[in-house]
């Protein structure tokens, strides 16, 4: 099976605009939505979160929930909307998510997660994958993780994204839970050794091509979160490293990527989407480059103005590239 390169689901980041940008940068990247709670779909309050752009494929929807029937219902809607996969969030440690009985606390209920997988699979054709941690609270022995993987894979899940940290359900904020518990990649490697037929993808703390290389010697893929947001060009470096000179990773400069994303922005502006919601994802694209500060400042200051249009990005681009002014009427 081919190696998987995946974008980690991130609330308030991996909306469809960010995913479209990532698709321009890394044609082979597996994309995921932010976590969407089943309640927000069932009550109709956030159906907009399911909106997709045709260029996003392959793209999975990540659901937060623990009621098998509700998850199955939402998965059918996701299938109708054109998603390629349903991913279950078994890693979020926030209080809100715990009080609704989903996220990381479900690691302690592998039987219930298995029921959810079975129910989704019985009512939709989409593959079901799981994103989880290596443990929760004091359940941090390998056997706890292996038992969770065994029970949920027996129910029909064959792909696992494992954030190589445990989560503390009390006492740490979600943000702290992404940095305080140490990364234990060896546990993820051991899952692959013990369950060789499963597709095991590691997540957490990956920000260099050499780290990706070393994980891929042992595993089936990598999932990258914060680095893709902080420094989106890292994803281009990764794409080029693995797919260079193929149609899957065409030669493109930062400017060329920004210009292709600008075409998307232009279409969306016509539909009434505010510039700031799209331009914010470009902030990091010149990370580490000369002119990056000007670029960010211009997008930050001028992007949020209510009638701001594409000219904001164009003039920021001129600043950073030294190009001639180009007027949009």
Ligand X SMILES: Cc1cc2nc3c(=O)[nH]c(=O)nc-3n(C[C@H](O)[C@H](O)[C@H](O)COP(=O)(O)O)c2cc1C
Q: Which residues bind ligand X (CB under 6 A)?
A: 8-13, 34-35, 62, 89, 91-92, 131, 163, 178, 203-206, 224-227
Min dist CB 300 to ligand X, Å, is 18
DSSP state of 317: H
Please list, residue by residue across 6-45, b when 16 or more beta carbons sit within 10 angstroms of its beta carbon and e when fewer do.
bbbbbeebbbbbbbbbbbbbbebbbbbbbbbbbbbbeeee
Of 74, 92, 105, 116, catalytic: 92
Min dist CB 179 to ligand X, Å, is 8
Q: Which tokens hold the place of 276?
A: 């700031």
92 catalytically annotated: yes
Rounded CA gap, 60 and 295, in Å? 32
Residue number, 205 or 314, with CB nearest to ligand X: 205
Residue number, 134 or 282, with CB nearest to ligand X: 134
- Tell me the pairing of strands 159-163 and 199-203: parallel
* Chain centre distance of CA 229: 10
Residue number, 103 or 110, with CB nearest to ligand X: 103
Q: Quick one: which of 235, 310, 321 has its CA closest to 279?
A: 310
Min dist CB 205 to ligand X, Å, is 5
Residue nearest to ligand X (CB): 225
Q: Burial-class residue 86 by CB neighbours within 10 Å (0-12, 13-18, 19+).
A: buried
Min dist CB 89 to ligand X, Å, is 5
Check the CA dihedral 267-273-276-282 and report its sign: negative
Residue number, 10 or 20, with CB nearest to ligand X: 10
How many CB atoms are closer than 10 A to CB 297? 12
Residue with tokens 């926030």: 94
Q: At 73, is the secondary structure helix, strand, or coil? A: helix
Min dist CB 103 to ligand X, Å, is 8
Q: Residues with catalytic annotation?
A: 92
């Amino acid at each position: 099976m081919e190696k998987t390169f995946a974008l980690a689901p991130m609330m308030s980041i991996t909306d469809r605009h960010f995913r479209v940008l990532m698709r321009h940068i890394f044609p082979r990247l597996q994309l995921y939505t932010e976590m969407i709670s089943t309640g927000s779909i069932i009550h109709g309050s956030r159906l907009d979160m399911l909106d997709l752009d045709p260029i996003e494929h392959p793209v999975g929807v990540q659901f937060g929930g623990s009621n098998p029937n509700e998850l199955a219902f939402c998965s059918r809607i996701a299938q109708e909307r054109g998603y390629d996969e349903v991913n279950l969030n078994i890693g979020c440690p926030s209080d809100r998510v715990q009080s609704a009985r989903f996220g990381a606390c479900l690691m302690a209920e592998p039987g219930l997660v298995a029921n959810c997988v079975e129910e989704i699979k019985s009512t939709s054709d989409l593959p079901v994958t799981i994103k989880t941690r290596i443990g929760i609270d004091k359940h941090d022995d390998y056997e706890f993780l292996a038992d969770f993987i065994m029970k949920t894979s027996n129910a029909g899940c064959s792909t696992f994204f494992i954030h190589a940290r445990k989560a503390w359900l009390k006492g740490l904020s979600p943000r702290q839970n992404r940095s305080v518990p140490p990364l234990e990649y060896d546990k993820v490697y051991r899952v692959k050794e013990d369950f060789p037929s499963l597709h095991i993808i590691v997540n957490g703390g990956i920000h260099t091509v050499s780290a990706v290389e070393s994980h891929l010697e042992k595993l089936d893929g990598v999932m990258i979160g914060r680095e893709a947001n902080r420094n989106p060009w890292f994803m281009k470096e990764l794409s080029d490293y693995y797919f260079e000179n193929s149609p899957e990773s065409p030669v493109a400069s930062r400017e060329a990527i920004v210009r292709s994303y600008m075409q998307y922005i232009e279409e969306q502006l016509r539909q009434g989407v505010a510039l700031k919601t799209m331009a914010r994802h470009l902030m990091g694209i010149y990370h580490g480059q000369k002119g990056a500060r000007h670029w960010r400042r211009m997008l930050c200051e001028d992007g949020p103005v209510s009638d701001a249009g594409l000219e904001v990005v164009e003039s920021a681009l001129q600043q950073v590239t030294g190009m001639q002014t180009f007027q949009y009427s």
